[in-house]
């Protein structure tokens, strides 16, 4: 049985395979309508979500399976003190695969040690978000045509932004990738990413605090929200939240073929005027999230890919 807790749980070849299947799904979704007949996804979301939970549920429904779950700890017996371990032992009796989001780093890993069915980490605290990364990789593959030889700007809350941590972890395995990390001093990458991933793999990166200066050198700009829910005090959040706002003026500094990604939700960090720029890919990115999650569910359940 396979789980997905970190992007490193999948080899580069397996990720390439998932992207291929996702592209097939995009071209011919009807061919996949009964692939997961009889399968059931449980979404155990102890933290709020719009995209991840609903795209997972859409993915399973698109494949012909069914879904159950809860969308907040207060709606579940976690509010009475039930542990993650006991919850997945029980929910594993009602489902064939589980997607879990939790505010505590490592909770999906604990779940995987007790679950009778595959566990997918749908975001654990400020740690990892591997299925957002699969979504990001599919978006880059579709919109840039490659995953190698890219300069990627990561802007905003790089300390708490789990999507950034997972994206870097996945992309360092591709040749010619460079990172430009744009954040205030207080929101720089944590050591478990800077030292254990970037430096260990000898991947070129720089840390800067000015976005305008680096715009011309980017193939991809990955904007992120400042993660209010992970701050210890509101004052720091208020001081840092509007540090970077991507607007039409800043987009004039970017190459014509640069693309803008954002895992969403956005708060203030991308002005609405950027939505009409053909380089803005963040809503398309959310659509790609359904295709790649369909491919992932099929992979973890060992379901056959139909001939299309
Ligand atoms: N990208 C993402 O994780 O969005 P949600 O928090 O809405 O799931």
Q: Atom 5 (ligand 1): residue with closest C-alpha?
A: 49
203 neighbors 193 (Cβ within 8 angstroms): no
Determine if the peptide bond prior to 214 is cis (ω within 30°): no
Low-confidence winner among 88-102, 208-222, 230-244 (lowest mean pLDDT): 230-244
Tens digits of per-residue pLDDT, 45-71? Answer: 999 999 999 999 999 999 999 999 999
CATH code at 130-285 = 3.40.50.1370
Average pLDDT, rounded, for the chain? 96
**What 3-state DSSP class applies to 94?**
coil
**Which of 122, 165, 264, 281 most suits a substitution to test ligand 1, by most atoms within 8 Å of the C-beta?**
264
51 annotated active-site: yes
254 neighbors 221 (Cβ within 8 angstroms): yes
Q: What are phi and psi of 261, to 5 degrees?
A: -115, 155
**How many residues are present in the chain?**
308
pLDDT on residue 237: 79
Q: How many CB atoms lie within 10 A of CB 77?
A: 13
129 annotated active-site: yes
pLDDT on residue 66: 98
Q: What integer is the mean pLDDT of 224-233?
A: 83
pLDDT on residue 241: 84
Q: Residue 121: which region, alpha, beta or left (left: phi > 0; alpha: psi -120 to 50)?
A: beta
Atom of ligand 1 nearest to the CA of 54: 8
Same fold, 7-127+288-301 and 130-285: yes
pLDDT category at 232 given cuts 50, 70, 90 is: confident
Q: In sequence order, what DSSP letters do the residues of 182-200 get, joined into one string?
A: E--GGGPPPHHHIIIIIIT
Tens digits of per-residue pLDDT, 172-186? Answer: 999 999 999 999 999
What does the alpha-carbon distance between residue 234 and residue 232 come to, in Å, rounded to a whole number?
A: 7
pLDDT on residue 56: 98
136 neighbors 261 (Cβ within 8 angstroms): yes
CB distance 49 to ligand 1 below 6 Å: yes
Q: How far is the CA of 52 from the centre of ligand 1 (A)?
A: 5
Q: Which of these is catalytic: 24, 40, 53, 101?
A: 101
Q: How far is the CA of 109 from the centre of ligand 1 (A)?
A: 19
Contacts of 67 (CB under 8 A, 6+ apart): 40, 41, 42, 43, 56, 57, 60, 61
Contacts of 126 (CB under 8 A, 6+ apart): 105, 159, 160, 161, 162, 165, 190, 227, 230
What is the residue extent of each domain of the chain?
Answer: 7-127+288-301, 130-285
Q: In sequence order, what DSSP letters do the residues of 22-72 get, joined into one string?
A: HHHHHH-GGGGTTTTTT-EEEEEESS--SHHHHHHHHHHHHTT-EEEEESS
pLDDT on residue 239: 81
23 annotated active-site: no
What does the alpha-carbon distance between residue 42 and residue 44 come to, in Å, rounded to a whole number?
A: 6
CB distance 137 to ligand 1 below 6 Å: no
Q: How many CB atoms lie within 10 A of CB 67?
A: 18
CB distance 167 to ligand 1 below 6 Å: no
CB distance 216 to ligand 1 below 6 Å: no
User: Is the predicted pLDDT of residue 302 greater than 90, yes or no?
Assistant: yes
Tens digits of per-residue pLDDT, 201-223? Answer: 999 999 999 999 999 999 999 99
Contacts of 205 (CB under 8 A, 6+ apart): 178, 179, 180, 181, 194, 198
Q: Which fold has domain 7-127+288-301?
A: Rossmann fold (3.40.50)
Q: Which of these is catalytic: 3, 24, 40, 52?
A: 52
Nearest to 134 by CA among 264, 2, 14: 14
pLDDT on residue 219: 98
What does the alpha-carbon distance between residue 298 and residue 243 come to, in Å, rounded to a whole number?
A: 41
Q: What integer is the mean pLDDT of 164-170?
A: 97
Q: What are phi and psi of 205, to 5 degrees?
A: -155, 155
């Amino acid at each position: 049985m396979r789980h997905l807790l970190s992007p490193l749980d999948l080899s580069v070849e397996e990720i390439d395979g998932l992207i291929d299947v996702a592209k097939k799904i995009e071209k011919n979704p009807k061919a996949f309508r009964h692939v997961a007949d009889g399968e059931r996804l449980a979404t155990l979301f102890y933290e709020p979500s719009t995209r991840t939970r609903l795209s997972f549920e859409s993915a399973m429904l698109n494949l012909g399976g069914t879904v159950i779950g809860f969308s907040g700890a207060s709606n579940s017996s976690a509010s009475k003190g039930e542990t993650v371990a006991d919850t997945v032992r029980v929910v594993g009796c009602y489902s064939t695969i589980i997607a879990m989001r939790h505010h505590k780093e490592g909770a999906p890993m604990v779940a995987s040690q007790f679950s009778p069915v595959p566990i997918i980490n749908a975001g654990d605290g400020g740690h990892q978000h591997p299925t957002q990364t699969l979504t990001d990789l599919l978006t880059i593959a579709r919109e840039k045509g490659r995953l190698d030889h890219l300069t990627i700007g990561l802007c905003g809350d790089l300390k708490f932004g789990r999507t950034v941590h997972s994206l870097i972890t996945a992309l360092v395995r591709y040749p010619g990738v460079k990172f430009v990390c744009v954040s205030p001093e207080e929101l720089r990458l944590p050591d478990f990413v800077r030292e254990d991933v970037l430096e260990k793999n000898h991947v070129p990166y720089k840390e800067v605090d000015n976005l305008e200066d680096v715009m011309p050198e980017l193939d991809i700009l990955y904007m992120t929200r400042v993660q209010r829910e992970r701050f210890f005090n509101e004052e720091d959040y208020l001081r840092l939240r509007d540090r970077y706002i991507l607007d039409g003026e800043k987009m004039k500094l970017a190459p014509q073929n640069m693309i803008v990604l954002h895992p969403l939700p956005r708060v203030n960090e991308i002005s609405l005027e950027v939505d009409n720029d053909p380089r803005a890919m963040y809503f398309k990115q959310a659509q790609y999230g359904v295709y790649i999650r369909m491919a992932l569910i099929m992979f973890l359940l060992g379901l056959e890919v139909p001939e299309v």
